[in-house]
Amino acid sequence: MPQYQVRISADREESERIARLIEAAFEEEAVTVSWFETPDGWTVDSWFFGEDPAEIEAKVRDVLGSDAFGAPLEVFETPDLDWVRLSLEGLKPVLAGRFVVYGAHDRDNLPAGAIGVEIEANQAFGTGHHPTTWGCLVAISRILRLRRFRSVLDLGTGSAVLAIAVAKLTRQPVIASDIDPVAVEIAAENAHLNGVGRLVRTVVAPGLAHPALRGRAYDLVVANILAAPLRELAPGIRANTAPGAILILSGILNEQAAAVLAAYRAQDFVRVATIRKDVWSTLVLRKAG
């Protein structure tokens, strides 16, 4: 049976919503979905098996409905290639500060002295290749040279790459939370794979709305999500952090950084550093006191 690729172009937030809608609607069909940035914007690719491309297009449009907002949609047949092999070839180890993020295929090709974090290349988020993940790892590497932390939260953990990095470097417990139960399951698997399963506690929770997260005085919070939810979370993060706490925030476009910074300044945080790569910013903030 032939395979067809469905490609949809949209802005960042809309493309993320489209990717999640497709994943949820076609979960039983094992449809693969990839969401990524291109020079012209953001793209969602998904792959379907079927005989009729028009029927596949109709199914996708029916699922998206008005949520697609008229986003351009293309359907085309894909050649019979070994996609796993090709994707692994394209994802080489990523150096970020003292860390190197790699897939299983590169276990024997790691630079000496780097702290390795193994994340499989078939996971859509948190492989270290995106500038936001890279920026957070660089910030973690720098800040952990200067301070020790006793209570750490990775908010919106995804693959748990950031929580694993902190746990490996400090050998201290880290709470890793995400709104997506599948992501949390993968995060727990990755923590065990990297030998820090006992240090990384994974929790399914939206924001800080979970008994395991509330009422704590975190002294380090890492959140690589999106600018809008980061602004919404500012009061909750303030309420659950200790004086002098450090925040590492990413998922922020350069032009969004000022608005995110303003939201946290209103909650008594000051900027320590900004790390930029391509069109993305990572903010390092410190709570007053």
Any idea what the CATH number is for the domain that residue 197 is in? 3.40.50.150
How confident is the model over 140-159, as pLDDT tens digits?
999 999 999 999 999 999 88
Report the distance separating Cα 107 and Cα 166, nearest Å: 20
Q: What pLDDT sits at residue 87?
A: 46
Mean pLDDT, the chain, integer:
86
In a domain, 269, yes or no: yes
Please say whether the beta carbons of 85 and 119 come within 8 A: no
- Give the chain's domain count: 2
Q: What pLDDT sits at residue 94?
A: 81
Question: Is residue 36 over pLDDT 90?
Answer: no
**Same domain assignment for residues 189 and 273:** yes
Confidence of residue 180 (pLDDT cuts 50, 70, 90): confident
The listed range with the strongest mean pLDDT (13-17, 33-37, 179-183) is 179-183
In a domain, 89, yes or no: no
CA atoms within 13 A on the CB side of 142: 17
Q: What is the mean pLDDT of residues 184-211?
A: 93
Residues near 7 by beta carbon (within 8 Å), at least 6 away in sequence: 43, 44, 45, 73, 74, 75, 76
In a domain, 100, yes or no: no
Any idea what the CATH number is for the domain that residue 57 is in? 3.30.70.260
Q: What pLDDT sits at residue 223?
A: 96
How confident is the model over 215-229, as pLDDT tens digits?
889 999 999 988 989
| Residue appearing with tokens 């690589």 | 224
Show the domain range for 210: 130-287
